[in-house]
Amino acid sequence: MAKKVILDVDTGVDDAVAVILALRSPELEVLGITTVTGNVDVEKATKNTLHVLELLNRTDVPVHPGARGPVTPGTWSVGERFHGAGGLGGVQVPEPSTRPRKEHAVDFIRRVVREEGPREVTLITTAPMTNAALSLLIEPDLAERLSAIVSMGGAFCTGRQGTGNSSPRSEFNVWFDPVAAKVVYNSGARVYAVGLDVTTRRDAAISRELYERLAESPDEVGRFVHAILGAYVDAVGYAPMHDPMAVASVILPDLLTFELLPVDVEICGELTRGETVADFRDFDAEVPRRRPNVHVAVDVDGPEFLRLLLDRVAGLELG
Ligand code: BDR
Ligand code: CA
């Protein structure tokens, strides 16, 4: 039976690819998509998401706009400079002809989880966790009622790849709203964190060669993915697929290896705002230990991930 999921996105180049992967995977039933400010403001994230749904002929999937900014106090700016003007790698998309739903993202998440019943719904966040945190603060029981929260976010220093991208120590989604991440991690929910430790692995990224193959995709959607990745591949030489990896971890439960660890978030460090601090120490009775609360992704089968991704989003077969 397909797993019921809600996607919480800030579309965003790799969010767009994550939405495509989710909607083209029979292992998942996407109950709805909620949007939030992060890579771009929530209006643009909503517009971009509606465009992707139109491209996929899946306008039946409801889109619910959510928080307009983080719950963390202080100044902030969206991540548009990494995702190009408009958020889709500089590709200008037409105004969608479909409209988002009126019900707020936070109300939608709470209602659907209640209606579907205990442990039926997995919330996949590929954005700052503002909507998830607000839902949990309004309704703490949600933590128990959700099957899991799978979050693309964090940099846990499990290897060289575990360093940050928004700062030396912090990953964008957590850096943008560290208080929200702290609420989610400490909510009691089953939390799976797919962080930069695994998403920046080069064997799991779209290389320039794979990017060029996307241009020849027989599938219009594959060619759209090629177009939105262009600016990033031109600038960096390859494109990590952060958000699709979080979705893939629900599609193929053995794709990633997780370790259950005590994790907390630095919310106000001068240099370390948004650092996700995982405690790897070996403990004995003398040292008080925080309760392990987050399943942290520490390894991924990169080639298997790319096979799944390229097949589903572009109909390309990798050897
Ligand atoms: C995360 O930040 C965003 O820029 C991406 O969409 C992804 O969710 C990676 O740090
Ligand atoms: Ca994202």
The pLDDT assigned to 39 comes to 96
User: What tokens were used for 288?
Assistant: 């008080």
Burial 232-249 (b: 16+ CB within 10 A, else e): bbeeeebbbbbbbbbbbb
The pLDDT assigned to 270 comes to 84
Ligand 1 site, residue 170, Cβ cutoff 6 A? no
Strands (E), 61-199: 63-65, 121-125, 148-152, 191-194
Residue nearest to atom 4 of ligand 1 (CA): 39
Say how far apart CA 156 and CA 144 lie, in whole Å.
25
Q: Is residue 124 part of a domain?
A: yes
Q: Is residue 196 part of a domain?
A: yes
Say how far apart CA 91 and CA 305 lie, in whole Å.
26
Identity (one letter) of the amino acid at 258?
Answer: F
The DSSP code for 232 is H
Ligand 1 site, residue 87, Cβ cutoff 6 A? no
Taking the centre of ligand 1 as the mean of its atom positions, its distance from the CA of residue 154, in whole angstroms, is 10
Q: What is the domain range of residue 55?
A: 3-314
Q: Is residue 135 part of a domain?
A: yes
Burial 279-297 (b: 16+ CB within 10 A, else e): eeeeeeeeeeeeeebbbbb
The count of domains in the chain is 1
Q: Is residue 24 part of a domain?
A: yes
Taking the centre of ligand 2 as the mean of its atom positions, its distance from the CA of residue 239, in whole angstroms, is 14
Say how far apart CA 80 and CA 86 lie, in whole Å.
7
pTM: 0.97
The pLDDT assigned to 206 comes to 98
The pLDDT assigned to 182 comes to 98
Strands (E), the chain: 3-9, 28-35, 63-65, 121-125, 148-152, 191-194, 206-207, 238-239, 256-261, 263-265, 276-278, 294-300
Taking the centre of ligand 2 as the mean of its atom positions, its distance from the CA of residue 40, in whole angstroms, is 9
The pLDDT assigned to 256 comes to 98
Q: Which ligand has its closest atom nearest to the C-alpha of 84? A: 1
Cβ proximity of 9 and 35 under 8 Å = yes
Active-site annotation holder among 51, 64, 242, 295:
242
The ligand 1 atom nearest the CA atom of 152 = 8
Q: Is residue 215 part of a domain?
A: yes
Q: List CB contacts of 74: < 8 A, sequence separation 6 or more.
A: none
Cα 52 → chain centroid: 16
Give the count of alpha carbons within 13 A of 44, CB side only.
24
Please choose from 44, 173, 198 the residue to mutate so as to test ligand 1's pocket, defined by most ligand atoms within 8 A of CB.
173
Say how far apart CA 132 and CA 187 lie, in whole Å.
10
Domain CATH number, residue 36: 3.90.245.10
The pLDDT assigned to 82 comes to 82
Q: Catalytic site residue 295?
A: no
Angle at CA 252, nearest 5°, toward 187 and 222? 110
Say how far apart CA 59 and CA 96 lie, in whole Å.
10
- Give 10-residue mean pLDDT values along the chain (319 residues): 98 97 98 98 97 98 98 86 89 95 98 98 98 98 98 86 85 97 98 97 97 94 97 94 98 97 92 92 70 96 98 92
Q: Is residue 129 part of a domain?
A: yes
Taking the centre of ligand 1 as the mean of its atom positions, its distance from the CA of residue 11, in whole angstroms, is 9
Cβ proximity of 265 and 277 under 8 Å = yes
Q: Is residue 252 part of a domain?
A: yes
Residue with tokens 């929260």: 149
Q: Is residue 265 part of a domain?
A: yes
